[in-house]
Each structure stands twice: as structure tokens, then as C-alpha cells.
Amino acid sequence: MSYVNPPEFVTKMIDAGENKAFMSTRDTVIRAYMAGAILALAAAFAVTITVQTGNPLLGAVLFPVGFCMLYLLGFDLLTGVFTLVPLALLDKRRGVTVRSMLRNWSLVFVGNFAGAFTVAVMMAVILTYGFTVDPNEVGQRLGEIGSSRTVGYAEHGAAGMLTLFIRGVLCNWMVSTGVVAAMMSTSVSGKVIAMWMPIMLFFYMGFEHSIVNMFLFPSGLMLGGDFSVADYLIWNEIPTVIGNLVGGLAFVGLTLYATHARTGSDWNRPAAPEEFKLPAEANA
């Protein structure tokens, strides 16, 4: 599997964040567009498998194929840049600023949405023969997902919003773990195996992924889902984005950075004996 030690792959994480902060607008948008489109196709694939087999676990087991493909092709998801780019800023890499970080996030968001929405339109056309017939069973399921995960939360008020937010946090805890896990190996097989496990977990557990939802909810609206654009934005996408940011950065990026890039060993090391300390003047 060609394992890479944590201090080494954390350095790779910081380097990746720096590279993304400086990436051109053209490249950032293209890579984000393709990532959103591929992940949307994987979501459509997983929903189709679940409906046709009646086995949600099988859909979850096969969903990570899309994530692995987009990662190996060098494309970018918002959930990944939420975790990586802030590390370059925290590490004080030259030229990386809050503005460049926010620019990257904004461009990746736009690109991801455009890619996911493109696939949503294509799937809606396929499932309705160009909107000339009612959606088939898969299309109906997509509409139901959109309703249950928007107005379904709204029915519970603040408790529903809290649940949505925490599902967003847990989602990117797992997704960003998949991003980082791919850096633990130098072989393709090792990267795929390491990515597969946390991505499968998030999908099966029903956690909220902002880019997957960029496909599920627009397609659900086109396929007869009983919810509105406002429901989608307020009761899913916006809280999910915030939850994804908190989950990826707090539970993956910052924790790994704090213990492998900026360790606490100096704080725990006993003070040197008095006779070995330099005079105060020598430290001036």
C-alpha cells in the first residue's frame, strides 16, 4: 500500500491547500465543474441501485466509485477545499490570504453547483423521456428524497435545523477523512481502499453533503418533489455548507495540523537543567 506517515501526508495537505489557493480561475472552475458532475452521477447511480435492489447498503457500497474517480483525476470538491486551503493560511504560506481562500471556496462552489445541476437536468430528461411522461420509480424516489430532507427538517423547527447541521458536520468529517486518507498511500489501489471506507459510511448513514445535494434537490424539483427552492436553500443547502465547513476543518484539518505539523511536544518536554541554560544576555 506504500504507507505515508502522518507528518508527511499533513505536509502534503498544506501543500495542496497552497496550490489550490493560487490556482487560476479557469482551472479552478473546470476542476470543480467536473467534480460536481462526477459526484452527481455517482449519486444517481447509488439511488438507482437502491431502488432497483431494495438494498440501501449496496448503493452505499458502490457510491464511492465517483469520489475515487474525481480525486484521482485531480478535480476539486467544496468539502475538500474547506479542509485543505485554511491549512496553508494557518501555516503562513507566502501569498495565501483570507481573500485568496474565500476566492477559492467561491469558485469551487460555483463550479460544483454547475456540474451537479448539469447532471440533474440530464437525469430528469432521461427519467421522463424529455418531460413527456411521469418520472419512473427512480425519478419518484429522487423527488421523495428532496421532500423528506427539506420540509422533513422544517417540520421539527430548530431541532430539525440542528439535526441538519450536525449531519453536515459528520458528513465532511468522513469525506475529508477520505480526502486525507488518499494521501496516506502512493499507490492507486492504496488510495482507493483508504478513500472508500469513510465515503461509504457517510452515504449509508444519510449525512448531508452539500455537493451531492446540489444534484438531489434540483433533480427532485424537476421530478415533482413537494418542496420549493426556498425550502432547499434554507432547510438544506445553506446549513449543510456551514456544517461541512465545520466538520472538515475542525475534525480533520485542524486536528491533524495541530498534532502532526505543529506538535505539542515542546510544551511537554521537561525544562533543561539550570547549568545547561544560556545566560539571558545570550538570548538577546
Q: Where are the chain's structural domains? A: 6-260
CA-to-CA distance for 41 and 53, rounded, in angstroms?
18
Cell of 98: 483570507
Cell of 178: 477520505
Residue partners of 212: CB distance under 8 A and separation at least 6: 39, 40, 43, 116
Degrees, nearest 5: CA angle 228-229-232: 90
Beta-carbon count within 10 A of 234 CB: 15
What was the pLDDT predicted at 272? Answer: 47
CA-to-CA distance for 249 and 196, rounded, in angstroms?
20
What was the pLDDT predicted at 262? Answer: 86
CA-to-CA distance for 17 and 76, rounded, in angstroms?
11
What was the pLDDT predicted at 267? Answer: 45
Cell of 82: 474547506
What was the pLDDT predicted at 1? Answer: 54
Degrees, nearest 5: CA angle 45-49-54: 155
Q: Which amino acid is at 45?
A: F
- Cβ atoms 119, 40 nearer than 8 A: yes
What was the pLDDT predicted at 2? Answer: 87
Helix (H, G, I), strand (E, B) or coil at 269: coil
Q: Which residue's C-alpha cell is 518536554?
A: 269
- Whose CA is closest to 175, among 212, 133, 221, 143? 212
What is the CATH topology of the domain spanning 6-260? Glycerol uptake facilitator protein (1.20.1080)
* pLDDT in single tens digits along all 284 residues of the chain: 589 999 999 999 999 999 999 999 999 999 999 999 999 999 999 999 999 999 999 999 999 999 999 999 999 999 999 999 999 999 999 999 999 999 999 999 999 999 999 999 999 999 999 999 999 999 999 999 999 999 999 999 999 999 999 999 999 999 999 999 999 999 999 999 999 999 999 999 999 999 999 999 999 999 999 999 999 999 999 999 999 999 999 999 999 999 999 876 644 555 544 444 444 444 43
What was the pLDDT predicted at 281? Answer: 41
What was the pLDDT predicted at 278? Answer: 43
DSSP string over 200-243: HHHHHTT---HHHHHHHHHHHHHTT-S--HHHHIIIIIHHHHHH
CA-to-CA distance for 105 and 81, rounded, in angstroms?
7
Cell of 156: 421539527
